[in-house]
Structure 1
């Protein structure tokens, strides 16, 4: 008997699946929303059936959380959305299966049987995991824990690894952690940034050259492929590798042999390849700018690193880490955070990810100087303005009143409510500094005072 959770806002779906699985002897729990489903998952489940379109959120955002719940259940996506909407993202996140509604009982039973069969096999072959040194990769969000699990598996193998993720998510740190936990950790970890080298220079950097191979080649030069012999070769931004070099590197990857520029003799190198990119290599192969056979070789193992915006409470853990690091660097006293900081930092989108957060916290520490606490005023202006913009009312499309509509709030009451929210956030950002609030909002100082009075907001922070 297995424990099965069904998360779907359609009562008919919930009841139909419940009867289907109960008749098979399984214990079934149901939830009609994402939040209640996540709570039920903490009770320990074997399989979770998850709808993507739920009244309180997108099911795709919860797959990592559900997979990390007690018992590490298998997640089967069951959706009415057409054209495989979200299929790649959900399966990449670790979902067991992706089924479109309406699904036949046979399809549902086969998917469940395969998931439960996998869990039985996994339980029978279970071995305690080896200790994995994450090398300073901070964070314990479900998305990051899943990524670390994939890193640990990669470290135990010799297979090529492709690390995917946006700029600044920590791809090089991930590659370094894989190397440090592998059997090659006593040998070189060699980094090649493909985006910073010209096509002619990259060939020499990778394979080396012999004396006289070209103008300026006054002596033999050992390339980085040779330097990585016995260790790990990390090709960062592999998507920038010129097409002319993709073919030659494919052969090097297959044969582990290469020819230095200008040499008539081949050399060998026993390297393990880890590559990374922020580009969509599959789209590049369809466009003819990246070789499909090279892509197949690169991604024997694939690790998708989550963006910072998808890592929840990791944002504050990283902010505190970077603040401590900056304090040590500049020999400044340790600093705490004001209560407004968490709201601003967690609301920001962080397009530059962890790297951007590190720079922002360094700037905040410098701005705070010897002060013991970091306040919103110490953050760069664009971070504070971004938070302020979120308080502005969003324009809604016009709606025709219906006869069944209930009582509607008066415009004056609605406007007063929105004004209060806006000016409260404005005060939070500016730490009740009226002059700064005037500059950020574009309102005069007397107008600020008038609006604060109307909204019932004090002009000083009562901490």
Structure 2
């Protein structure tokens, strides 16, 4: 018997699904809102039928939150929004199935049965595993919990892994975690930075060369592919791999055989490949800049890392970690993060992601000196000023309020409700409102600059095509086809 949760604001839909599952021995839980559904999900459920258009929240945004609640239920999206609204985003977020209303009982029952069969097999095949070494990966947000589960699964296999994510999200750290938790952990972890490969020397660097192969080759040289024998070969920024090398590397990846420059005999190397990129390789294959057959070999397992701006609860957690690290490095006493600083950090969009946050907190620790706490004044100027981009945001108080210059001491600025409740509500937007405004402004400008061309927008922003579509959908910004109608 399974516990099935139905989250839908339409009573007729809830009743229809309940009748559909009647007589099968399942326990049915009903919720008419997202908040009520979250509460019921916390009690432990196996399957969730989730509507996307809910009165108190966006169902697409809730998928990560719901799927991260133990015992990690399967999410089946059921929606009346036409044209497969949100299908790409919901399936990319890990939803089990996507059903469009009205759906026949046969389709609903088949989807439920397939999800239950999967859960049964998964539970039956559970093994006692050693603790997963996160290798310094920090984050408890729903999106990071989901990413960690994918990383753990990837580590258990020998398949090629492609790690996707914006610059600075920690792709190399994830590659190290995959290696450290794999059966190859005792072998070497060899990093190849494809963005720094010179086309004239790339074959020698990867495959090595024999003595006398070219001027200056005074001895035999072992390449990185050979050095990775028995371990993991990590291709960082694989989207920058020169086109002239993609064909030969595809053969190496398929056969694990290669020939050093100037050598007569081929060599073999038993390596496991992990690659990473911030580029949209799918779009690059369409434009002819990346081989599609190489992409298919790279992404047997795909791990997408969320940007820091989508990891709300992790920002302060990471900031604390960096503060502790740099206080120890520079011999300073431990410092705490002030409430004012926390608000600024959570309101900033972090275009450089975790790497930028680390650099910012290092600068703040140095600037704070012997101060026991870090305040916004200790941050680099660009981050401090970012919170002034939105009206009624400031750095002085816990609420981020600023007092008009002509306001009498101890009194609110003219025209404002003096009550604390009104001041808190009117002076500062909610974090979700603030983030939405910033995201909407960015993607409006991006699409205008790119003439609503999704591929160009992806190349310009460094975001993947699915990520572009997700942000456009949330902001209500039309794609090229809709804009030109």
| Shorter-chain TM-score above 0.5 | yes
Q: Pairwise mapping of residues 345-384 of structure 1 onto structure 2 (< 5 A)?
A: 345-384=345-384
Q: 2:29 is paired with a residue of what secondary structure? A: strand
1:86 counterpart residue number: 86
Q: 2:387 is paired with a residue of what secondary structure? A: helix
Q: 1:275 is paired with a residue of what secondary structure? A: strand
Q: 1:382 is paired with a residue of what secondary structure? A: helix
2:71 counterpart residue number: 71
Q: 1:284 is paired with a residue of what secondary structure? A: helix
Deviation, structure 1 residue 337: 1.5
Moved more, 158-167 or 24-33: 24-33
Q: Pairwise mapping of residues 209-288 of structure 1 onto structure 2 (< 5 A)?
A: 209-288=209-288
Q: 1:389 is paired with a residue of what secondary structure? A: coil
Deviation, structure 1 residue 267: 1.1
Q: Pairwise mapping of residues 316-331 of structure 1 onto structure 2 (< 5 A)?
A: 316-331=316-331
Deviation, structure 1 residue 193: 0.7
1:304 counterpart residue number: 304
Deviation, structure 1 residue 32: 2.8
Task: Describe the shift of the 1:385–1:79 C-alpha distance in structure 2 as closer, same or farther (beyond 3 A).
Answer: farther
1:410 counterpart residue number: none
- Pairs aligned (count): 418
2:10 counterpart residue number: 10
Q: 1:12 is paired with a residue of what secondary structure? A: helix
Deviation, structure 1 residue 214: 3.2
Task: Describe the shift of the 1:288–1:333 C-alpha distance in structure 2 as closer, same or farther (beyond 3 A).
Answer: same
Contact 1:375/1:431 (<8 A) preserved: no
Q: 2:131 is paired with a residue of what secondary structure? A: coil
2:396 counterpart residue number: 427
Q: 2:275 is paired with a residue of what secondary structure? A: strand
Which of structures 1 and 2 has the bigger CA Rg?
1
Which whole-Å CA distance do the structure 1 matches of 2:86 and 2:280 have between them?
Answer: 16
Q: 1:200 is paired with a residue of what secondary structure? A: coil
Task: Describe the shift of the 1:61–1:313 C-alpha distance in structure 2 as closer, same or farther (beyond 3 A).
Answer: same
Deviation, structure 1 residue 90: 2.1
Q: 1:273 is paired with a residue of what secondary structure? A: strand
Which whole-Å CA distance do the structure 2 matches of 1:267 and 1:53 have between them?
Answer: 58
1:404 counterpart residue number: none
Task: Describe the shift of the 1:47–1:202 C-alpha distance in structure 2 as closer, same or farther (beyond 3 A).
Answer: same
Q: 1:30 is paired with a residue of what secondary structure? A: strand
Contact 2:407/2:413 (<8 A) preserved: no
Gaps of 5+ in 2: 421-485
Q: 2:334 is paired with a residue of what secondary structure? A: coil
Contact 2:340/2:396 (<8 A) preserved: no
- Structure 1 residues 151-193: Cα deviation after superposition (integer angstroms, max 9, x where no partner): 2222222111111111111110111111112222222110001
Deviation, structure 1 residue 311: 2.1
Task: Describe the shift of the 1:86–1:167 C-alpha distance in structure 2 as closer, same or farther (beyond 3 A).
Answer: farther
Task: Describe the shift of the 1:176–1:101 C-alpha distance in structure 2 as closer, same or farther (beyond 3 A).
Answer: same
Contact 1:164/1:277 (<8 A) preserved: yes
Contact 1:376/1:431 (<8 A) preserved: no
Which whole-Å CA distance do the structure 2 matches of 1:53 and 1:278 have between them?
Answer: 31
TM-score (norm 2): 0.80
1:54 counterpart residue number: 54
Deviation, structure 1 residue 12: 2.8
Q: 1:144 is paired with a residue of what secondary structure? A: helix
Q: Pairwise mapping of residues 130-209 of structure 1 onto structure 2 (< 5 A)?
A: 130-209=130-209
Moved more, 14-23 or 350-359: 14-23
2:336 counterpart residue number: 336
Deviation, structure 1 residue 377: 1.4
Contact 1:376/1:430 (<8 A) preserved: no
2:465 counterpart residue number: none
Which whole-Å CA distance do the structure 2 matches of 1:286 and 1:55 have between them?
Answer: 40
TM-score (norm 1): 0.84
- Structure 1 residues 360-400: Cα deviation after superposition (integer angstroms, max 9, x where no partner): 1111111211100111111223323322323x2xxxxxxxx
Task: Describe the shift of the 1:447–1:118 C-alpha distance in structure 2 as closer, same or farther (beyond 3 A).
Answer: same
Task: Describe the shift of the 1:457–1:359 C-alpha distance in structure 2 as closer, same or farther (beyond 3 A).
Answer: farther
Deviation, structure 1 residue 219: 3.0
Contact 1:377/1:430 (<8 A) preserved: no
